[in-house]
Amino acid sequence: MSEVQFLNVHKDFSGMEVLKGINFTVESGQVACLIGPSGSGKSTLLRCVNHLETTSSGTILVGGRMIGYEVHGDRLIEAHQKDINKRRSRIGMVFQSFNLFGHMTALENVMMGPVKLLKVPKAQAEAEARELLAKVGLADRTGHYPAQLSGGQQQRVAIARALSMKPDLMLFDEPTSALDPELVGEVLDVMKALARDGMTMIVVTHEMGFAREVADVVAFMDGGIIVEAGDPNEIISRPQHERTKAFLSKVL
Amino acid sequence: MTVSELPIAVEARHDFADLASRPVLKRKRPGQLIAMVVVGLFAVMGAYVIVTNPGFGWPTVAKYLLDIRILNGLLTTIELTVIAMVLGLVIGLVIAVMRMSDNALLRGVAGAYIWFFRGTPLMVQMLFWGFAAVLFPTIGIGIPGGPMLVEWNTNDVLPLFVAGILGLGLNEGAYMAEIVRAGLMGVPAGQSEASHAMGFSRMETLRHVVIPQAMKIILPPVGNETISMLKTTSLVIVIGVGDLLYNAQQIYARNLQQIPLLIVASLWYILLTTILSLVQARIEKRYSRGNNIQARKA
């Protein structure tokens, strides 16, 4: 089970409240899209799921287990770094700026996690990495360094790298925002295939077409709260709130 | 007359189709010729002086170039360079990581180390190590204010060569720390973030992701430091370590052939720096793997 539950999640950034009590659930196997203007807190919320950001109060459960914190008496305390690392290894993350390791080839990027963290034998890890790169359509680019790949190709390698850890959950932080328009499609196609395979995904995106087509649930965020959430067609075609309407009228 | 003032008729007289079929001429640059003549004259003058002035003592240079005392000194110089650089690199890495730590105490200690070793002249530090026995006649392990468990005579465990190494290496560590820190900071934060998100610990991230990419930023200045260190080792003469320069001095103190022996030492220094420069170029090439690859910042 890999459902994600946000329970009254708050976050302060040196006095500025960027998350003001988020309550939201993503069921196992669902695709959730977080949409909203920049500065609305959607990326911060996503980064709390694998504890790249700390929270001020509230809880995030992944697969029913609290992440980043543990109960200490009647309060929460930050979990042991080892436990956090272990949880993170089961959660794949894809960044806006790809963040492929520059000194490694595409193949080495995808092999690295299994070899160094999961202690998978090199030959087996390489075979699996080649399979993953083929899955994202880059079977002929295994020996290329990130600098020799286009943005779309780099992002697909980054997805393969995240998948190499056999995650239960995938987080996407504006995966296509840094791409040239004609390269967006190839990345979205890989993500759609992933969704069809039943991967649980939380996607921060500005791609309304993708949200409408792939998402099971869409949440519109503004000012650190979820203004409205629900069926993508309902939210995108018939928004109830003024702020949602105003936002969608600008991006659609 | 500027281009815009050119009467159109002048250009129109040319047969451009015909001109286009011939290669372009290269304009003569007389300045280059003059420079060549001037440099050539100086070179001839320099060569003349070097050959004809008996003060250079070329036969003496030849006689001492492969003298066993010079070669022994050369070996000591190389040993000092290598060991002091290794020590400096290790200290530099530790201090740099400490300086970037979350722990304010560790950051403070690292800052103080750099402050102290960069703030006093290397010559003075060297003399301190040479005279360490005055400050601490014995060193050992024990309880502060209580009995000593083990104890040694400082002069026995800290021969001058070791004092020289400590003087050079500890000082180098302070400079190296700043070089390493610049290298570590030069790796985009997204690289560490991606590594952490995969579940790698801080140390694993440093080892597998950050340091390999920092290397290509760190290596050129480390090469410089090594070349600089080769010559800085000559400071050990102030505590009487028998390096290349010290042994050359010992010889000319007796035969009074100062210039030829300084030339002997210089020739060896310059040969070694040349070799080091070539090695540096090679190593840099190896570490430029996947060059220009920084995660693109959106």
Q: What is the pLDDT of residues A51-83, one digit of tens each?
A: 999 999 999 999 999 999 999 989 999 999 999
Find the residue in B nearest to A83 (Cα): B199
Torsion of CA A203, A244, A7, B200, to 10 degrees: 30
A50 touches chain B (CB under 8 A): yes
Mean pLDDT of B27-53: 92
Residue B206: give its domain's CATH number: 1.10.3720.10
Q: Which of B194, B200, B202 is facing A99, going by the closest CB pair?
A: B194
pLDDT of residue B282: 87
Tokens of B218: 């760190």
Mean pLDDT of B14-19: 79
Chain B residues near residue A151 by CB distance under 8 angstroms: 296
Q: CB–CB of A146 and B204 under 8 A?
A: no
Q: Which of B198, B208, B293 is facing A102, going by the closest CB pair?
A: B293
Q: CB–CB of B197 and A102 under 8 A?
A: no
Chain A residues near residue B191 by CB distance under 8 angstroms: 99, 101-102
Q: Which of A86, A101, A113 is facing B191, going by the closest CB pair?
A: A101
A146 touches chain B (CB under 8 A): yes
Mean pLDDT of A177-194: 93
Residue range A4-44, pLDDT digits in tens: 999 999 999 888 999 999 999 999 999 999 999 999 999 99
B103 touches chain A (CB under 8 A): no
* Chain Cα centroid distance, residue B286: 19
Q: CB–CB of B297 and A103 under 8 A?
A: no
Is residue B144 over pLDDT 80? no
Tokens of A133: 């790169």
Chain B residues near residue A112 by CB distance under 8 angstroms: 198, 208
Residue range B203-212, pLDDT digits in tens: 999 999 999 9
With respect to residue B34, please indicate whether it lies within any of the assigned structural domains. Answer: no
Tokens of B87: 């020590």
Q: Which of A50, A97, A146 is facing B197, going by the closest CB pair?
A: A50
| Residue A111 contacts residue A126 (beta carbons within 8 Å) | yes
Q: What is the DSSP string of A8-49?
A: EEEEEETTEEEEEEEEEEE-TT-EEEEE--TTSSHHHHHHHH
Mean pLDDT of B40-55: 92
ipTM over 0.90: yes
Domain count, chain B: 1
With respect to residue B56, please indicate whether it lies within any of the assigned structural domains. Answer: no
Of residues A227 and B140, the one with the higher pLDDT is: A227
Is residue B295 over pLDDT 50? no
A150 touches chain B (CB under 8 A): no
Chain B residues near residue A104 by CB distance under 8 angstroms: 290
Sign for the pseudo-dihedral over CA of A35, A38, A44, A50: positive
Q: What is the DSSP string of chain B?
A: --GGGS-HHHHHTS-HHHHHTSPPPPPP-HHHHHHHHHHHHHHHHHHHHHHH-GGG-HHHHHHHHT-HHHHHHHHHHHHHHHHHHHHHHHHHHHHHHHHTSS-HHHHHHHHHHHHHHHHS-HHHHHHHHHTHHHH-SEEEEE-TTS-EEEEEEHHHHS-HHHHHHHHHHHHHHHHHHHHHHHHHHTS-HHHHHHHHHHT--HHHHIIIIIHHHHHHHHHHHHHHHHHHHHHHGGGGGGGT---HHHHHHHHHHHH--HHHHHHHHHHHHHHHHHHHHHHHHHHHHHHTTTTT--PPP-
Going by pLDDT thresholds of 50, 70 and 90, the confidence category of residue A143 is: very high
With respect to residue B167, please indicate whether it lies within any of the assigned structural domains. Answer: yes
Substitution target in B191, B193, B198 with the highest count of A β-carbons within 10 Å is: B198
Going by pLDDT thresholds of 50, 70 and 90, the confidence category of residue B222 is: very high
Residue keyed to tokens 């649930």: A217
Cα atoms found within 13 Å of the Cα of residue B123, Cβ hemisphere only: 4
Cα atoms found within 13 Å of the Cα of residue B226, Cβ hemisphere only: 23
pTM given for the model:
0.80
Residue keyed to tokens 């302070």: B174
Is residue B38 over pLDDT 70? yes
For chain A, give the percent of residues with pLDDT over 90. 94
Find the residue in A nearest to B215 (Cα): A103
Mean pLDDT of B152-173: 86
With respect to residue B136, please indicate whether it lies within any of the assigned structural domains. Answer: yes
Going by pLDDT thresholds of 50, 70 and 90, the confidence category of residue B158 is: confident
A85 touches chain B (CB under 8 A): yes
Q: CB–CB of B295 and A161 under 8 A?
A: no
Residue keyed to tokens 């090199």: A122
Tokens of B172: 């180098």
Mean pLDDT of A135-141: 94
Is residue A173 over pLDDT 70? yes
Is residue B10 over pLDDT 60? no
Cα distances (angstroms) measured from residue A40 to each of A94, B34, B168: 20, 68, 55
Going by pLDDT thresholds of 50, 70 and 90, the confidence category of residue B293 is: very low
| Residue A205 contacts residue A221 (beta carbons within 8 Å) | no
A116 touches chain B (CB under 8 A): yes
| Residue A53 contacts residue A6 (beta carbons within 8 Å) | no
Give the distance from residue B196's alpha carbon to the nearest chain A alpha carbon, in angstroms.
7
Sign for the pseudo-dihedral over CA of A199, A203, A207, A213: positive
Phi/psi region, residue A16 (left: phi>0; alpha: psi -120 to 50; beta: rest), is: beta
Give the distance from residue B262's alpha carbon to the nearest chain A alpha carbon, in angstroms.
46
Q: CB–CB of A100 and B194 under 8 A?
A: yes
With respect to residue B275, please indicate whether it lies within any of the assigned structural domains. Answer: yes
B289 touches chain A (CB under 8 A): yes
A32 vs A231: CA distance, rounded Å: 10
What mean pLDDT, rounded, does chain A reach?
94
pLDDT of residue A222: 95
With respect to residue B41, please indicate whether it lies within any of the assigned structural domains. Answer: no
| Residue A210 contacts residue A31 (beta carbons within 8 Å) | no
Chain B residues near residue A96 by CB distance under 8 angstroms: 298
A15 touches chain B (CB under 8 A): no
A178 touches chain B (CB under 8 A): yes
Burial class (CB in 10 A: 0-12, 13-18, 19+), A121: exposed
Residue range A106-137, pLDDT digits in tens: 999 999 999 999 999 999 999 999 999 999 99
A237 touches chain B (CB under 8 A): no
Is residue B139 over pLDDT 80? no
pLDDT of residue A184: 93
B217 touches chain A (CB under 8 A): no
Which pairs from A197-200 meet CB under 8 Å and 24+ separation?
A: A198/A29, A199/A29, A199/A31, A199/A167, A199/A169, A199/A170, A200/A2, A200/A3, A200/A4, A200/A26, A200/A27, A200/A28, A200/A29, A200/A30, A200/A31, A200/A168, A200/A169, A200/A170
Q: Which of A96, A117, A145 is facing B198, going by the closest CB pair?
A: A117
* CB within 8 Å of B88: residues ≥ 6 apart: B168, B169, B170, B171, B172, B173, B175, B176, B225, B229
Chain A residues near residue B208 by CB distance under 8 angstroms: 112, 116
Going by pLDDT thresholds of 50, 70 and 90, the confidence category of residue B296 is: very low
Eight-state DSSP code of residue A66: E
Mean pLDDT of B14-31: 85
Chain B residues near residue A87 by CB distance under 8 angstroms: 199
Is residue B298 over pLDDT 50? no
Is residue A247 over pLDDT 90? yes
A55 vs B5: CA distance, rounded Å: 71
What mean pLDDT, rounded, does chain B reach?
88
B263 vs B24: CA distance, rounded Å: 51
Write out the residue range of the structural domain in which residue B208 sits. 64-297
With respect to residue B49, please indicate whether it lies within any of the assigned structural domains. Answer: no
Chain B residues near residue A44 by CB distance under 8 angstroms: none
Please state which of the ranges A6-10, A90-94, B23-27, B116-120 shows the lowest mean pLDDT: B23-27
With respect to residue B14, please indicate whether it lies within any of the assigned structural domains. Answer: no
Is residue A2 over pLDDT 80? no
Residue range B240-291, pLDDT digits in tens: 899 999 999 999 999 999 999 999 999 999 999 999 999 988 888 877 766 6
Chain B residues near residue A50 by CB distance under 8 angstroms: 197
Nearest CA to A23 out of A57, A71, A73, A65 is that of A57
B208 touches chain A (CB under 8 A): yes
**Size of chain A in residues:** 252
Give the distance from residue A83's alpha carbon to the nearest chain B alpha carbon, in angstroms.
9
Find the residue in A nearest to B190 (Cα): A99
pLDDT of residue B16: 80
pLDDT of residue B294: 41
Torsion of CA B116, B120, B126, B127, to 10 degrees: -120
pLDDT of residue B12: 60
Going by pLDDT thresholds of 50, 70 and 90, the confidence category of residue A1 is: low
